[in-house]
Structure 1
Amino acid sequence: MITLEKLSKAFGSQKVVDDASSQFEKGKVTAIIGPNGAGKSTLLSMASRLLPPDAGNVIIDGKSIVDWNTGELAKHLAVLRQANSITMRFTVREMVSFGRFPYSKGNLTDEDNSMIDKALAYLDLASLQDRYLDQLSGGQRQLAFIAMVIAQDTDYVFLDEPLNNLDIKHSLSIMRTIQKLAHDMGKAVVIVIHDINFAACYADHIIAMKKGKIAANAGVNDVIQEAVLSEIYDTPFSIVEANGKRMCLYY
């Protein structure tokens, strides 16, 4: 389990995250939602040690994140950031193989190649493994980045807005994969996401942020409520039920 203890972060005089506490549990998808500028990505960056907090602590499996060796942390926690600009020309397989670096340090073993094969198969990318990333659609490239995270084979997976600029087909594919990673493989998957309906359909737990504070932190059905969402987003919401899932309408 990862525990966030009273995390705070300011940039200049602007407090971006303010006294935020929560937990990320294995076997669950946790979605972090909220308006632009609410502090979602900053919270995830502090939770993954990409950004130092001004106050508070992150505990991973009983040990403070600052006490983890970087190499060992990379075997427990995988992070896919919002911007993934690759200037060198890599094939899909080469890209996915980077997920094995914490283990192989660039000298791939049979075990590494087996994990790469499994990750490619898991996202149905085997037929594209010899294609270059710049020959793929945006959705296919994003799937390749997620396959790299899967190949890293960590207990904790952090994804910062992985659905950006993707069509419905690829967004659904990624969300279904995220849910399988948690439910079938027992990983704790944490995703920063703007689409509330995807969060409602595929997450188990939702952290809703507003102006740097955690405004709601509960199971999906407790957060996907008209009053809760209307308060967080400062806009009216209606909730409808469809196939046992709650869906949001805003107007």
Structure 2
Amino acid sequence: MIHVDHVSHAYTPSGPPVLDDVALDITRGAVTALVGPNGAGKSTLLAAVSRLLGPDHGRVVVDGVDVARAPDREVARVLAVLRQDTRLSARLTVVDLVRFGRFPHSGGRLTTADHEVVAASLAHVGMADLRDRYLDELSGGQRQRAFIAMVLAQETPYVLLDEPLNNLDMEHAASVMRVLRTAADDLGRTVVVVLHDVNMAAAWADDVVGMRDGRVVARGRPAEVLRTDVLREVFGIEIPVVTVDGSPVALHWLPRAGRHPMGVGQRY
């Protein structure tokens, strides 16, 4: 379990907190989506959990490991992180990229077992046939799946991803979420993902955490969070919610509250 113990952080001593006394337990083996408006603190929380940022107050404990105090290699065997910025200066093939995920285990000297993990990770994300393709020859969705294969190859129980759907079309976004869903279901990984699209969160996540102004203001199953009253608290706007085939869908693209296609479903 990831235990976030009253974490607070501000980027300047006199500035407002970007994380304000966040207390949160993230269930092991589930897909948890962090949602909320820009500036809510989602990416900062992910950075604190992954030790990319040291919070001013509080601590993060992952399966008994205090991430701020544990050695780098110990943390790298528990947490794998995919940040927003995945630009690389070196020209790498897909398989070379994925091999980086084995560094905490091999120190750069890959064994037969390491190569088997790399091959399995490529197969899991559907990139085995593109293993020798250069990253700059891939589409955006293929490239993102290659980076996900890298973090899966790290074989950590926890995988953290910061806005992995950025700049992806609907098909590739769904493909990435399907990979993350199967990573939890088939590989037993705990996945924590920052998303802007609440409907993607509802469709693929087990738990949805809504953040606003550095605080957790909502937490629950998708049907518990995708409600007009809850989304108002998270995003500060009226968002109609309907049911489609038994699942909640937020109509956040509508020009004003209350206007929604007739016959779509029952409003919450």
Instruction: Tell me the SS of whatever aligns to 2:53.
Output: coil
Deviations 1:60-114 (A, max 9, x none): 1123222322112111110000111100010000001100000111111000000
Q: List aligned pairs for 1:1-251, cutoff 5 A.
A: 1-12=1-12, 13-250=15-252, 251=254
Aligned-CA RMSD value: 1.0
Offset at residue 14 of structure 1 (A): 2.2
Farther-moved stretch of structure 1 (108-117 vs 217-226): 217-226
Instruction: Tell me the SS of whatever aligns to 2:18.
Output: strand
Offset at residue 244 of structure 1 (A): 2.5
- Please tell me whether Structure 1 or Structure 2 has the larger radius of gyration of its CA atoms: 2
Moved over 6 A (4+): none
8 Å contact 1:22–1:217 — kept in the other structure? Answer: no
Aligned equivalents of 2:56, 2:22: Cα separation in 1: 12
Deviations 1:32-73 (A, max 9, x none): 000001111001100111100000111111232223221121
Aligned equivalents of 1:81, 1:48: Cα separation in 2: 10
- State the aligned residue count: 251
More strand per residue: 1
TM-score normalised according to structure 2 size: 0.91
Deviations 1:183-205 (A, max 9, x none): 22221100000001000111111
Unmatched 5+ stretches in structure 2: 255-268
TM-score normalised according to structure 1 size: 0.97
Output the amino acid matched with 1:110: T
**Percent identity between the two aligned chains:** 47
Output the amino acid matched with 2:104: P
Aligned equivalents of 1:62, 1:102: Cα separation in 2: 19
Instruction: Tell me the SS of whatever aligns to 2:187.
Output: coil
Offset at residue 25 of structure 1 (A): 1.7
Offset at residue 206 of structure 1 (A): 1.1
Aligned equivalents of 1:183, 1:23: Cα separation in 2: 20
8 Å contact 1:26–1:182 — kept in the other structure? Answer: no
> Relative contact order (C-alpha < 8 Å, sep 6+): which is higher?
1
